[in-house]
Chain A
Amino acid sequence: MTTTYDKPLPDVDDPDMGPFWAATRQGRLTAQRCADCTTLRFPATPVCGTCLSEDTGWVDVSGTGTIWSYAVYHRAFHPGFRGELPYVVAIVENTDGLHYTGRVFGPRSAVAVGAPVSVRFDAVTPQVSLPSWVVAG
């Protein structure tokens, strides 16, 4: 059986974010780490905003954190989301202090600012594994 994924897809070939998407395909959550000053950063950029170094590596980061804030979409601005309304999107602060945007799954009543969440990866196409967050019930 084949199904067509009909929601927006990220550009996995983006020169800055490509390594992030490659890691998600392996079930790893990552961030850039400046090779000179060691500052972690996400979203990815070609230059370290702390020391202006262009020498960058990627490291695995924590897959647990808390909901920093969230929104509940009751309207689909993209037709692919029509069948999933209402859906929850959050900015999650992981235990490394980094912020990641992602869908939140789990009981709606448990979704709150500060609620603990853990990452999961959904392989929506062969190239794209989306990091989402699960809130404990």
Chain B
Amino acid sequence: MSEVRGEVAIVGVGHTEQGEFPGVSPETLSVRAVRAALDDAGIDRSAVDGLITCKSIQGLNADVTVGPLLGISPPYSQTLDYGTCNFSLHLAVQAILSGLASTIVLCYGANARTVRFPFGAAPATLAGAAGLMHIAGPAAMALQRHKALYGTTDEQFGWIAVSEREWAARNPLAIFREPMTMDDYLAMPYMVEPLRRPDVTMLADGGVALVVTTAERAADFPHDPVYVLGIAEQSAIQGEQRPGYVMRPWLADVATRIWGTTGLKPSDIDALYIQNPTAVWVLQMLEAYGFCPEGEAGPWLAEGHTRPGGDLPLNTNGGQLSESYMWGWLHMVEAVRQLRGDAGERQVSGAEVAMYCSTQAWVKGGASILSTRT
């Protein structure tokens, strides 16, 4: 059984507006998010004894640059290059269980939109010279192979982006809220075939923060604590050296660990969150975690499970395709809101267990399961 089950809880979430904020640094956006998270948790920054920052996609936002703006020098501080919030949460769980800290604030901040971060720049390699650039390139190759192996169609795959847009329409924070039907989706031109523009995230400026503490202290906070039931990771740091790397077969190893250590199974999950710089990540992780059989994500998606009213609500914030990029951090915020029952018109009725699955490109996978009950 999981050693971490019920030992640590998320007691505060916060974020900035999402969009383009010229003149505001990633660190300042982090501070704004931290203020919101501390307000949500009902505590002053003097109550924080740990700070874990996540580097922005630009490599900024280190603890030693955020700390001075926050005006704190807590006993424990750390910076992760790995994004998506899962790895930061896991580090916070480790720090708390080891006694390094008891109440930790985690934050991400980026102004990648304002600075026009070159997400698609070509590396000075064989691949770059061949024109393989932007995450959409290898993601498109992964989808093309999935189509060849399993017969997945554009329409089946399109349900990821269309479903997320349906959820985003119910989320005031989401950047892309205008309706997009399947006909609208299929009428859009390819960007990197077989991916269309709505299948790929768009960078935004903003910040996100969480407050995490011990289960013992969690009861003293104003909101229902959202407990960590389990965490799992799997490195794949051989990365692009392994032939077939775009298919990420090691995702199944994260799944084995998270289900094995928690004793839970896919049918126990009331709301699912999957980090998705491209919709291909969703296709791959639905299969790897066993929400549908290998190769069958296409027909399964077309059955509508992930849409509003479906039996496995997925990325109810609109995901990174429709809500905002934020390197996946807003997925964790949304999972907390759903479990608290604070998700407004997109609230999943009776949601008690949520799961967040994410990856660092080709080199690492992580998953967390959260619940208001232990």
Q: Which A residues have a C-beta under 8 Å from some C-beta of B?
A: 7-11, 14, 17, 20, 41, 43, 45, 49, 68-75, 77-78, 81, 86-87, 89-91, 93, 97-103, 112-114, 128, 130-132
Contacts and interface: CB of A to CB of B under 8 A. Distances in A.
Contacts of B72: none
Nearest to A76: B131
Contact of B134 (A69, A77, A113): A77
Interface string B116-140: 0000111111111111111011101
B261 interface: no
B144 interface: yes
Given A7-B131, A69-B141, A113-B149, 5 more contacts: A69-B145, A73-B131, A99-B244, A100-B126, A103-B131
B238 interface: yes
Contacts of A102: 126, 130
Contacts of B189: 74
**Residue of A20, A72, A73, A100 most packed against chain B (CB within 10 A):** A73
B131 A45 contact: no
B302 interface: no
Nearest to A93: B243
Nearest to A112: B148
A73 B137 CA distance: 8
B191 A130 contact: no
Interface of B: 120-134, 136-138, 140-142, 144-145, 148-149, 189-194, 238, 240-241, 243-244, 246
B125 A69 contact: no
Contacts of A93: 243
B148 A114 contact: yes
Contacts of A9: 124, 129
B124 A78 contact: no
A70 B131 CA distance: 12
Given A69-B246, A70-B144, A75-B191, A89 B125 contact: no
A69 B129 contact: no
Nearest to A131: B126
B120 A71 contact: no
A91 B249 CA distance: 17
B124 A45 contact: no
> 9 smallest A-B Cβ distances: which pairs?
A77-B120, A113-B148, A71-B140, A72-B193, A8-B122, A69-B145, A11-B124, A69-B141, A101-B127
Contact of A10 (B129, B140, B240, B246): B129
A114 B120 CA distance: 27
A7 B130 CA distance: 9
B126 to A, nearest CB: 6
B192 A72 contact: yes
B137 A89 contact: yes
B243 A97 contact: yes
Contacts of B140: 71-72
Contacts of B125: 10-11, 17, 43
A75 B132 CA distance: 12
Contacts of B194: 72
Instruction: Give the most central of B121, B142, B243: most A CB within 10 Å.
Output: B243
Contacts of B137: 71, 73, 89
B266 to A, nearest CB: 28
Nearest to A91: B141
B198 to A, nearest CB: 14
B129 A77 contact: no
A89 B244 CA distance: 15
Given A89-B132, A93-B243, A97-B243, A69 B144 contact: yes
A132 B132 CA distance: 13
A91 B139 CA distance: 12
Contacts of A81: 131
Nearest to A130: B129
Contacts of A14: 124
Given A10-B128, A102-B126, A71 B243 contact: no
B246 A78 contact: no
B185 to A, nearest CB: 16
22 contacts: A8-B122, A17-B126, A49-B238, A68-B145, A69-B141, A71-B141, A72-B192, A72-B194, A73-B131, A73-B193, A75-B192, A81-B131, A89-B132, A90-B141, A93-B243, A99-B244, A101-B126, A101-B132, A102-B126, A113-B148, A114-B148, A130-B129
